Amino acid sequence: MQTDLPISSNHRKAELTVLKLTNTIESIRDATSSPTQSATGGHPGNSDTCPPQSTPSLSSIHAKVPTRTRNTSVIKLGVYQEEIEHQWPTPPEWSWKSRWCLRSAQALQHPEDIGKLMTNWPMVAGYLKELLERLEDPVGEGKGIVEQGDGGFLVEGVGKTGFDVSSKSEPWRRGYFQALMGAAKAAENLEGWLTDRKQRISAPAEYVVGPSNPRPKPMPAGQKKVPREEDCEQASPSPEVFYMKILTTRGFDTRQKLDAALAYADWLDYKGLQDTASDMYNWAMDIAASGSPVDAGKVVDVKTGVLKNDGKALPSENILRVSTALAVYHARHNNLPTALSIFTSVLKARRSLPPPPPGTIMPKLPSLHKSKDPFRYLFDSIKIMLVPVEYPAPLPSGNEPPLRTATSACDEAGLMTYIGEIIYASSSKEKGLAWTRDAVDTAEATMLELGESDRIPRHRCAECLRVGLENWKTMVSRLVAKAEKEEQESIQNAGRSWFGGQKQIEAKSVERKRWEAENLILDDRIRRLWPMIDGESGLEGIAPNSSLFLVFDNLDSRVINADVFVCCVGFLVNGTGIPEVDFDVGESYAGLLPNSPAGNSSLFFWFFPSQNPKAQDEITIWLNGGPGCSSLDGLLQENGPFLWLPGTYKPARNPYSWTNLTNVVYIDQPAGTGFSPGPSTVDDEEGVAAQFKSWFKHFVDTFGLHGHKVYLTGESYAGQYIPYIASAMLDEEDEKYFNVKGIQINDPSINDDSVMIYGMFCMSIDTRVDAYSDNPTAPAVRHLNHYTNVFALNDTFLADVNSRADKCGFNKFLDEALTYPPPKDFPVLPEISSECAIWDDIVAAAYDVNPCFNYYHLTDYCPYLWSEMGFPSLAGGPNNYFNRTDVQKALHVPRTDYSVCGETTIFKNGDQSPPSALGPLPSVIERTNNTIIGHGWLDYLLFLNGSLVTIQNMTWNGAQGFQKPPVEPLYVPYHYGLAELANGNAPEPFTLIAGAGLLGTAHTERGLTFSSVYLAGHGKLRINMSC
């Protein structure tokens, strides 16, 4: 008799089995969805791409791969193809090769369903190109199709019109239609792309080298091939080739032709061909009218799209679709009266639809619900392999009036949202707001009524609810701002009014409070509903032009970054509404998130998702130091998307913005720093790291950044923060939240003040010296001698401090410590006296010569330029930008007396943790093998040589210090911007010459890089941003 294991053991074994099979199935997508790589995606080539050429042949598998691996690969491939066949069924009568092409192309067009972030359009085009060649071959799978007319009709610029496929079966025709529509969508996305037919790669034209483009953009990292113009052809024909083929093919039903007509019209409108787009919408109405069972003229004005709603006849589903599309088209072009008339007529018509007769089975779109439960996923995977695919019945042609179903209310909610936007923008803001409220109520109620099995209807309803909430938030926020402005104006006018001034102020105050109260209630509702929306809406929830506010505000149609799965309405910053900034800063989010599980404390952040597709799986954290200095200093003066440098009157675009390369978030931490409410409750770096980890988990959950690679960077006292935070994150061994891949610390405080500021090197904690005066100053004189022309001190003073440095043993100490490799017996400073406090004397003498001496940046002279960050200055100008009420409102923070480096004491009893170089920094270097320490030569506070001495007495990855001198040149090519570095001998003119050339040094050993910049001071990125 067999003895059973305990239940817990059985369960654990089953769970491990499920996880193994789940991992196997998940890995299929990576192995099959992108067979080859190109400049920006795979390209399957021009022949025999179904299955793709990168799939090994059977003979090569037998020759090179062990039997077990070979069998596993075949199983993986088979499971994956079965899975996507169930989700996107293909006509059963087609050959296996054609079915492979269609299902693979369909899967690639739904990246969120196959574990990808973006569609690989070159792959889609390649699959469908071969599929169409096979289907249109009259002696192959196209047997029975015929050309219309004698040899077919030719249209200039388009080619042959469609075939007569009426003799083919409905599944064949449906699959052919799907292939043509997919090819059209691929063509839209590949406009301006070229394919190098010899190297088999595709890329936008600006990456292709040739006579017409002698200086192409550099290829993305990891792509060694460069497409050549002489070997290139268009990556895809024009979209109209495929749309016109559908519209002229005989055998497609009305719904299919209408799909093509509306998609073609939308593309023409996007291209700015408004007249042609209008003609195509008219053609779409003709198509819908031709299939109507009643005279279309009795139900709709075919010229305007306004439905007549006379109660005698109902419009068909196709007519309703065309009218709605026309309304959106008119709204885009600010023809609001016509758009409003059409929307309201469509809403009335949909509300008049009859319910389905009893016993009616409504057609459903095929969908494969993926459970997050591993046992359910295993069961579904086995079921996929055992249960044959059932090809779905065709959808209705759309010629009949639709019936009222459970999801009809969602369609109405969408129409109400459009109507609310138009009324708000054109006539009555309160009426428009009322329509929007009703739309949200309708969508929410419908979602609650729908069952979990109604995946696609719930998905559509979630979209309506998301857009409604976004619009509602936008409307109320604007009304709050308007009320505040009117209240301020009434206060200013009260002094000039003989009577009634106080009553006017009170009325405006009541108005402001009314909208602020609604804003608070709405925020609470959004927090309550957003988990439900996020679980349904997926990537479609971030599609462009889902709201007409983009049109009314003359904003662009930029797609929100694909990694931000949660559209955080309460945090969204209006990129065109940031005070004083006269350009669109782009997509960003700002506000407060909790930094403790209890939620009783919070940190401020400003998050900028990048438009760089290669940054979709990473997040870079920026921290300023202090302790207690706001990270907005780094944003506004170093690496943010806009700069406001000292002595300037307005912000400017930053060509070196890190957001061009990666997703960046700036955080004010610990509590009590910048916009983060105090008081601080930390005593040491372990407390800082614990609170930051809690905040970061909230941040990752809020923006859906799970599993992203994490990079931490900052400057000054962040050299203390970052190693401790990175170490605490790495200790968690949780890549879902804390997938730390590297750190960078600039002009960092990584050792005792006596080492970094005054130069004494004490690796023993017990000998730390905390006072800022009467301390030895080893590097101070050597740095002074390097910049005697900047200090402009007299020869007598220079001779005196050099003599004192020799007597104190500083020069000998530096000569011995700064050797490569370091000596086995590392030197220690000799006994010192007050005569060795040279740094204080040098700074005092420098102030006598230059009253505006700045030890943060040695080359500063009087007068101090005014600073928008609020630093003291001797000249007037804009000051303390972030202390403005309108700026704080734009960033979603309560009214705060902002100071870039506040008076709040972060560590009441001083930071009780050892310096990071004596603590976690060596371990972080070893665990990431990707650490950068950077220094500016013009920094006279935290000395470059102080960091080098620290490094030379630090042990990591099996050795002490650098083995070679860090002297390799840091050369930046001449270029136009951070994202477009050109080669060094490219012709002029360059727009950013000052940021190029030999700028410093960079040296790497065993996972640690040390860089220096000649013309930078404390905050080295402030001057030489190109580094």
For residues 407 and 614, give the distance between their C-alpha atoms in angstroms, rounded to a whole number: 38
Q: Where are the alpha helices (DSSP H) in 672-777?
A: 685-703, 718-732, 753-756
Contact 944, 935 (CB under 8 A): yes
Q: What is the CA radius of gyration of the chain?
A: 33
34, 588, 716, 913: the active-site residue: 716
* 3-class SS string, 369-428: CCCCCHHHHHHHHHHHHHCCCCCCCCCCCCCCCCCCCCCHHHHHHHHHHHHHHHHHHHCC
Q: Quote the CA–CA distance of 832 and 356 in Å, as a whole number.
A: 96
Q: 248 vs 155, 162, 242, 390, CA distance in Å?
A: 11, 5, 10, 30
Both tokens of residue 779? 């590097």
Non-local (6+) Cβ contacts of 383 within 8 A are none
In the residue annotation, 668 being an active-site residue is answered as: no
Secondary structure of residue 843 in the 3-state scheme: helix
Pairing between β-strand 618-623 and β-strand 709-715 as defined by DSSP bridges: parallel
907-942 residues labelled b (16+ CB within 10 A) or e (exposed): beeebebbbbbbbbbbebbbbbebbbbbbbbbbbbb
SS3 of 127, please?
helix
Which alpha helices (H) appear in 271-403, and where do they start and end? 274-291, 317-332, 336-351, 374-386
Active site residue 509: no
- Report which of 721, 781, 786 is spatially closest to residue 920, judged by C-alpha positions: 721
716 is catalytic: yes
Cβ-Cβ contacts under 8 Å for 133 (sequence gap 6 or more) = none
Selecting among 259, 269, 534, 939, the annotated active-site residue is 939
Residue 241 has which token pair? 């080739």
Q: CB 825: neighbour CB atoms within 10 A?
A: 7
Whole-angstrom distance, CA of residue 669 vs CA of residue 604:
8
Q: For 154-191, b where at least 16 C-beta lie within 10 A, e where not — what string?
A: eeeebebbbbbbeebeebbbbbbbbbbbbbbbbbbbbe
Query: Residue length, the chain?
Result: 1027
- Percent helix, strand and coil across the chain, each to the nearest 5: 45, 10, 45
On whether the CB atoms of residues 86 and 370 are closer than 8 A, the answer is no
878-885's contacts with Cβ under 8 Å and 24+ in sequence apart are 878/580, 878/644, 878/649, 881/580, 881/636, 881/644, 882/630, 882/632, 882/674, 882/675, 884/579
DSSP state of 636: I
Spatial contact of 173 and 93, defined as CB atoms under 8 Å apart: no
> Contact 262/327 with Cβ under 8 angstroms?
no
Question: Is-cis flag, bond preceding 218, omega within 30?
Answer: no
The DSSP bridge partners found for residue 522 are none
Report the distance separating Cα 470 and Cα 450, nearest Å.
Answer: 22
Active site residues: 716, 939, 1018
